[in-house]
A and B are shown apart, each in its own frame.
Chain A
Amino acid sequence: MSEKKEIEEIVEECCAVFRRRQIEGSLPCAKRTLDILRQIVTNKRHSTAAALIDEIRTVGYRMQVARPVELAIGNMVRRVLHVIREEAKQEEIDESKPAASAPSATEDHPRGQGSGLLTQAFKGRLQMPRGPSLSNLLDDPQIFSATLAPIAEGAATERGPDPEAESQASARPSAVKGQNKKTPANWKGKHEVIESINELIDELDHIQGSITTQGVEHIHANEVILTIGMSDTTFFFLKEASKKREFQVVVAEGAPRYDGHLMARKLADAGITTTLIADSAVYAMMARANKVLVGAHAVLANGGVVAPVGMHVVALAARRHSIPFVVLVGLHKLSPLFPTDPDLLYNEFKGPADVIDFDILGEAFTQQQQLHEASTAAAHPSLASVSGLDSAANPLVSSSGPLLASGPVASAASLGGASTFDVASSSGLRWDPLPGNVHVPTPLFDYVPPQLISLFITDMGGRTPSYVYRLLTEYYSREDYFLSREVFGKDGR
């Protein structure tokens, strides 16, 4: 009992950490997620794979919700779920033909050999049917219904309370077994799962390295590479390439965060010829570039990416000049969601401090307030209604909090609430007075559509956006694409 409580505390603490943004960046978030999941698998008892899947899914959904922009959290949860499902499937195959187990014993445990995930996926495909495909359309009815049904059932549960169908959907692989052998205390596939999670963590540790070593292949002598803002992956990639190649880098500063400044300094320190430009000069400089190399926040199912703000403009400029736009991403950032998915919250808004000085803001506010008071005293209702500001709801407070906009394009309406301040049309400001309300939204991310992207360089090599669908089937099970569905179904929504 205490053991359960402990896990509960750990999960809650982790969620709080995510919520408070004490961990930044997808890689640390992914590692933390895997760590928690490993603890759950190791320390808690689950009699069947289904029970384990259920628990991981619930916890995973909680963690994802704690930090919805960090898609890597959900991705790691899906990967672990996929591993468990595969293990359960394998077990079922083993059980169905115990007589033939002797010759195939070595094949049955491909994960025990410490091979990479890719080899596993490859081996896995040889033995087990991968997701639904034309070639198994007519195959064993069970394979097909097992892969297809959960989606339909999951959707059904979303609409009407039908928790039984949902639990059956996830329980299918081993429900029968669970009934037959009365609870062997702990599901025996766990060791394999834990091992796989360890491998995943290991893989995350080496992700940067496996991307950067490809630098030499993609950068040629005397090239001009354009990048925007600061990205560790991009920096190490360029640094690695500079050991063998001579090339120039043009860095756009990446307003409003200006992390391009840091990037330029680091590159220069590494002995690479570096030019720093303003974001507004990207189009002008693009004519001279040979390649655009950038990092990204997430890769979506259609091959589009979520990347730091300003990226879409760079991509469009690159397209206009027919310059390859190459994105460096680790596959932990691969998300099975589409930009149109209602589940996907991909943008985050920061406070206006990066765009406008708080001093000016503060001044504007005091001015505004004075004016407001004066106007109310003078019974001037028109001005008060125009400014729409009352002292109780100080917009500064709301503007410092994060706001999430849903959908691929943050609508103006949702931006409105993000960070609003009023500038009174009065004299005495250092800054030119503006009439009425001025909104200062500072979104963190852009969405770049797949047709603007030439290539992804991942830890598994180069991939085109049109290949992303294939990576998805390799790493995730279709039942797990939407983490929320079954959870909602459970609540009997």
Chain B
Amino acid sequence: MVVTEGFEANTQGTLNDIAVREFHDALSRDEEVAFAVAAIMALTAVIKRSTAATLMGVSKELEDAAQALQRVNPTNISLKAGCELFLRYTTRTSALELKDIETAKARLIERGLHFAETSTRARQTIAELGSRFIRSNCVVLTHGYSRVVLRLLQTAFSSGLQFSVIVTEGRPDGTGITMAKKLDAENIPVTLVLDSCVAYIMDRVDMVLVGADAVVENGGIINKLGTYGIALAAQAASKPFYVAAESYKFARLYPLGQADLPEERKPLDVGPMLPPRANVINPSRDYTPPQCISLLVTDLGVLTPAAVSDELIQLYV
């Protein structure tokens, strides 16, 4: 008995290693790959190497592997959402109806591989749907760097629309500068502003468009720090606030406020001048509640925040 347990733990250990390695590989292979997608690729790799004889066994291995993945990056919500989506899928899929374990595994693998493809298509779908919200001569404000937002703006621009983009700097990691560079490379007129300039510039803005790290159950979003401030400014100025997010970012979280987010801290370079007793709080993301959001452009269609919970409930209940 003891021996078997030890043996199992050992295989599980290797499986977890495989998952983590595959996860990192997927991320480093292509910078376009999102965390959730990489997680699903990693879990697919686990099924490939799995020796379990029952679906229960496979699920158990996957759960362990998912936990191992989350230990690698415990604060990443979209990684968690991706793992949950795939686990849920393996437990409720029609693969369960199949008699043969090997066919069931094969189907799961096939779906896992297919997902990577779906997710790349998702971005394009969002771009197609979302570019209809951009009117000619309008000014779009965006925050930091987001691949979906970039794709959306590219799509709109290449369809012949004339518009300009205001990008926030996106301190502390300055991702807005990357965004500005990429937009400029596409010949889209772009203006870079300080993060603290958002309220000042809001007058000239026609719509706000941001990406999201995760979309939570009530339709709110978790995104780069400063998004909430922008949303409030947009609301105060009655400007529409749109979010572009792939559906695999829908997470089963229900934050009621900023304190409910899993904490993620990054070093802050405040310089040597800081008095020794002064505290520094340096979160990297914030939560924007659904009432600040006009619409979410997702690959499932253009959704109101209320629709997000509908989708999640359908999947998980």
Residues of A participating in the B interface, judged by any CB pair closer than 8 Å? 131-135, 137-139, 141, 144-145, 148, 151-152, 155, 158-159, 301-303, 338, 340-342, 407, 464-470, 473, 478
User: What is the minimal beta-carbon distance from B234 to any residue of chain A, in angstroms?
Assistant: 13
**Partner among B86, B135, B314 whose Cβ is within 8 Å of the Cβ of A134:** B314
**Partner among B118, B304, B312 whose Cβ is within 8 Å of the Cβ of A144:** B118
Alpha-carbon distance between A303 and B85 when the two chains are bound, in angstroms = 29
A133-B314, A340-B133, A470-B307 known; A138 vs B301 contact (CB < 8 Å): no
Residue B100 interfacial (CB < 8 Å): no
Extra inter-chain contacts (16) besides given A133-B315, A134-B250, CB under 8 Å: A131-B300, A135-B311, A138-B89, A138-B111, A138-B118, A145-B121, A151-B125, A152-B124, A155-B128, A159-B159, A303-B304, A340-B132, A340-B133, A341-B132, A465-B304, A470-B307
Residue B176 interfacial (CB < 8 Å): no
Residue B177 interfacial (CB < 8 Å): no
A138 near B115: Cβ-Cβ < 8 Å: yes
Which residue of chain A has its CB nearest to the CB of B111?
A: A138
B311 near A134: Cβ-Cβ < 8 Å: yes
A478 near B128: Cβ-Cβ < 8 Å: no
Residue B223 interfacial (CB < 8 Å): no
A342 near B121: Cβ-Cβ < 8 Å: no
Residue B266 interfacial (CB < 8 Å): no
Residue B248 interfacial (CB < 8 Å): yes
**Partner among A137, A407, A464 whose Cβ is within 8 Å of the Cβ of B248:** A137
**Partner among B121, B302, B305 whose Cβ is within 8 Å of the Cβ of A338:** B302
Alpha-carbon distance between A134 and B92 when the two chains are bound, in angstroms = 13
A141-B114, A340-B135 known; A132 vs B299 contact (CB < 8 Å): yes
A478 / chain B contacts, CB cutoff of 8 Å: 301
What is the 8 Å Cβ interface bit string for chain B, positions 117-134, against chain A (1 contact, 0 not)? 110010011001100110
User: What is the minimal beta-carbon distance from A236 to any residue of chain B, in angstroms?
Assistant: 30
Residue B295 interfacial (CB < 8 Å): yes
Alpha-carbon distance between A151 and B294 when the two chains are bound, in angstroms = 23
Most chain B CB inside 10 Å of its own CB: which residue of A133, A145, A464: A133
Alpha-carbon distance between A60 and B133 when the two chains are bound, in angstroms = 24
Alpha-carbon distance between A341 and B135 when the two chains are bound, in angstroms = 8
Q: List 12 A-B contacts (CB under 8 A).
A: A133-B300, A134-B85, A134-B311, A138-B111, A138-B118, A152-B124, A158-B159, A338-B132, A340-B135, A469-B302, A470-B307, A470-B310
Interface of B: prevailing SS: helix
B158 / chain A contacts, CB cutoff of 8 Å: 159
Residue B306 interfacial (CB < 8 Å): yes
Alpha-carbon distance between A148 and B122 when the two chains are bound, in angstroms = 9
A138 / chain B contacts, CB cutoff of 8 Å: 85-86, 89, 93, 111-112, 114-115, 118
A466 near B304: Cβ-Cβ < 8 Å: yes
Alpha-carbon distance between A467 and B219 when the two chains are bound, in angstroms = 13
A473 near B132: Cβ-Cβ < 8 Å: no
A155 / chain B contacts, CB cutoff of 8 Å: 128, 159
Most chain B CB inside 10 Å of its own CB: which residue of A131, A155, A470: A155
B295 near A302: Cβ-Cβ < 8 Å: yes
User: What is the minimal beta-carbon distance from A343 to any residue of chain B, in angstroms?
Assistant: 9
Which residue of chain A has its CB nearest to the CB of B219?
A: A466
**Partner among B115, B294, B302, B310 whose Cβ is within 8 Å of the Cβ of A137:** B115
Alpha-carbon distance between A398 and B9 when the two chains are bound, in angstroms = 84
Alpha-carbon distance between A465 and B117 when the two chains are bound, in angstroms = 34
B124 / chain A contacts, CB cutoff of 8 Å: 152
B299 / chain A contacts, CB cutoff of 8 Å: 132, 148
A473 / chain B contacts, CB cutoff of 8 Å: 301
A302-B295, A473-B301 known; A134 vs B247 contact (CB < 8 Å): yes
A148 / chain B contacts, CB cutoff of 8 Å: 121, 125, 299
**Partner among B85, B118, B304 whose Cβ is within 8 Å of the Cβ of A302:** B304
Which residue of chain A has its CB nearest to the CB of B135?
A: A340
A133 / chain B contacts, CB cutoff of 8 Å: 300, 311, 314-315
User: What is the minimal beta-carbon distance from A60 to any residue of chain B, in angstroms?
Assistant: 20
Alpha-carbon distance between A135 and B299 when the two chains are bound, in angstroms = 13
Most chain B CB inside 10 Å of its own CB: which residue of A132, A145, A158, A302: A132
Alpha-carbon distance between A135 and B302 when the two chains are bound, in angstroms = 17
B306 / chain A contacts, CB cutoff of 8 Å: 464, 466-467
Alpha-carbon distance between A469 and B219 when the two chains are bound, in angstroms = 14
Residue B303 interfacial (CB < 8 Å): yes
B307 near A151: Cβ-Cβ < 8 Å: no
A341 / chain B contacts, CB cutoff of 8 Å: 132
Which residue of chain A has its CB nearest to the CB of B247?
A: A134
- Name B57-111 residues within 8 Å CB distance of A: 85-86, 89, 93, 111
Which residue of chain B has its CB nearest to the CB of A478?
A: B301
Alpha-carbon distance between A134 and B246 when the two chains are bound, in angstroms = 10
User: What is the minimal beta-carbon distance from A469 to any residue of chain B, in angstroms?
Assistant: 5
B132 / chain A contacts, CB cutoff of 8 Å: 338, 340-342
A137 near B118: Cβ-Cβ < 8 Å: yes
User: What is the minimal beta-carbon distance from A150 to any residue of chain B, in angstroms?
Assistant: 11
A469 near B304: Cβ-Cβ < 8 Å: yes
B114 near A131: Cβ-Cβ < 8 Å: no
B86 / chain A contacts, CB cutoff of 8 Å: 138
B305 / chain A contacts, CB cutoff of 8 Å: 466
A466 near B300: Cβ-Cβ < 8 Å: no
B302 near A301: Cβ-Cβ < 8 Å: yes
A135-B314, A138-B111, A155-B128 known; A338 vs B301 contact (CB < 8 Å): no
- Name B274-307 residues within 8 Å CB distance of A: 294-295, 299-307
Which residue of chain B has its CB nearest to the CB of A155?
A: B128
Which residue of chain B has its CB nearest to the CB of A337?
A: B132
B125 near A407: Cβ-Cβ < 8 Å: no
Most chain B CB inside 10 Å of its own CB: which residue of A138, A141, A341: A138
B294 / chain A contacts, CB cutoff of 8 Å: 302
Which residue of chain B has its CB nearest to the CB of A467?
A: B306
User: What is the minimal beta-carbon distance from B314 to any residue of chain A, in angstroms?
Assistant: 5
Which residue of chain B has its CB nearest to the CB of A341?
A: B132
B314 / chain A contacts, CB cutoff of 8 Å: 133-135
Alpha-carbon distance between A137 and B132 when the two chains are bound, in angstroms = 24
A466 near B307: Cβ-Cβ < 8 Å: yes
User: What is the minimal beta-carbon distance from A192 to any residue of chain B, in angstroms?
Assistant: 27
Alpha-carbon distance between A133 and B295 when the two chains are bound, in angstroms = 17
A469 near B115: Cβ-Cβ < 8 Å: no
Alpha-carbon distance between A135 and B314 when the two chains are bound, in angstroms = 7
User: What is the minimal beta-carbon distance from B271 to any residue of chain A, in angstroms?
Assistant: 44
A151 near B304: Cβ-Cβ < 8 Å: no
B301 near A131: Cβ-Cβ < 8 Å: yes
